[in-house]
Structure 1
Amino acid sequence: MFWWRNEVRPGVSVAFTDAGAGNLALHVGDDPVDVMARRSRLEHAIEMNSERADPGQFQYMDQVHGNHVEFIASHGPGPTADAMVSAAEVSPSANRRNAQALAVMVADCVPVVLVETSAHNSPVIAVAHAGRPGVASAVVPATVAEMRRRGAVDISAWLGPSICGSCYEVPEELRSDVAAKVPETWSSTSWGTPALDLPAGVRAQMAALDVTVEYSGECTLENDSLFSYRRDSRTGRFAGLVWTHD
């Protein structure tokens, strides 16, 4: 069910699912009842596998390959966005509210999870959907900017599995257009044709923002245990997840 999972700072956990968790997207022609049941099973699995981790209901979003970032105070209808930020809050009565658990779905794009890692600050968490249009239009820098506006200082990132620069073949003109904005995306396939390296582009954007990349996942196209749109256009979506807990 989980491709990778870890408690990345006390009280904050990050995970990426695999095909074993099933399709978690509502927009790919799957039965919505089945999708919601899988989402519930995923949340239950997190709760049962750790006494400390009870994420409640994850917030998903309607991803449109843009660069809009939405702040999420509490669970609700999925916003139309490609990134979400949430933060723990303390009310005037000194009651603490955990940040809203967040989810991002992909099948080749880069699922980005970001966390304020300083133990001296309340958790600020985020997810971003960094496909080709999102990398080119700076969705990740926009997400980091929103996190910092919400009080984050020391930010680290976890990049889930995504299609690699040796597999993501694109037309020459498209490679040139994207690389003109993010030069580190310029790549060639293992068979010598034009390609884009989206994870490299995201890592370069992170470095420019002084964000540490703690993990970068494997290639989706090369792993049958992960969904890949390039391998099969009638495929599901796996998720990058982040949640706070006691």
Structure 2
Amino acid sequence: MKKGWDQLFPPPPSCRLCSTPVSPGLGSGIWDRICFSCRKGLPLIAPPYCRRCSRPLGERKEEDLCSGCRRSPPDPLDMNRSVLRYTAFPKELIRLYKYRGRERLAPTIAELMAEVLLRQGWRGDVITFVPIHPDRLRERGFNQAERLAKGIARLVRLPLRPVLERIRPTSPQSLRSRRERLVALRGAFRLAPPPRRIRLSNRTVIIVDDVYTTGATMVECARVLKEGGAKGVLSLTFAR
């Protein structure tokens, strides 16, 4: 009886992030399936932002390089784009997703990321993800970046390949400078051995992770990919 009643009077759709009912919108995009309260807590990175690392540039009138990218020499990572500023609500979503069993958030986060990738107009050849060390994988049970990359690859119709593997764990990086992080991460990644390895020559790789902080992890991954023959390396993250 309840099933028939629900068919006649279906319940209102629920927010993809907090599950509260939302009013049916006029569109069918991902933002139409997120409630107003959650949308207020998701600070999109909009122009002007650094054309290299996606850092917001405040009141500047046109896109340019941020002070950090102007000071830093060119590195193997060609460009990063992030969806949101790493403020309280995005930080909480990532915490729930990675550490509190809310893995169901992955498709929504991936869809928000895919939307930015498509809007950016990147022409990548393959999507991959930042690997985690096997010890961390056993502890957590899944790689959060891999789950996101799978969803993004499906939405943008690009092949997903596990191009890299992590061979050395690193201590927590939160209190280290970018230079210290780069030193600590040196040699932490390598190309995945056959048969997982793919030909990288003349290919542009889009590498996915949840958060971009100093960019050190992405730079080290990009270095390994470029040394393996990749033509270009772009990174896509949920928060910056």
Asked which structure has the greater RCO (Cα within 8 Å, sep 6+), the reply is 1
Please indicate, yes or no, whether the TM-score normalized by the shorter chain is above 0.5.
no
**Scaled by the length of structure 2, what TM-score is found?**
0.29
Structure with the larger strand share = 1
**Scaled by the length of structure 1, what TM-score is found?**
0.29
**Highest CA radius of gyration, 1 or 2?**
2
